[in-house]
Amino acid sequence: MYKPLPKSLTIKESGINGLGLFANRRIKPGTNLGVTHLEVDGKIIRTPLGGFINHSDTPNCVKLRQFVSLRLSIKKKWTLMPKQNIKKGDELTLRYTFYNI
């Protein structure tokens, strides 16, 4: 069964912009939280998980790029990973690299 968000995350109003991703519980650094973006036929596509991550100049997460060979011409995928301890209630943030802010 497809789940767009891991159980450790929820979406709610953000003090940064609109809606954001927030921790439901403590999350350790290095935890793979799921796929945020895919490259399909040369285009970058956001997943539901990737659609709610807000930008920060001091992010608490990173996107890890992986090269894959799957059907539907997917060549790359990016996964969300905390780079520090995330406390319950913290918003998860990234430094945007695909979009202009």
The pair of structure tokens assigned to 32 is 């793979």
- Residue-range definition of the domain harbouring residue 55: 9-85
- What is the percent of the chain where pLDDT is above 90? 56
72 within some domain:
yes
* pTM of the model as a whole: 0.83
99 within some domain:
no
Sign of the CA dihedral with 13 first, then 15, 17, and 22 last: negative
52 within some domain:
yes
pLDDT tens sequence across 51-78: 999 999 999 999 988 777 656 566 788 9
| pLDDT given for residue 98 in this prediction | 64
Residue where the block lists tokens 């790359």 = 76
Of 54, 50, 57, 73, the residue nearest 13 (C-alpha): 54
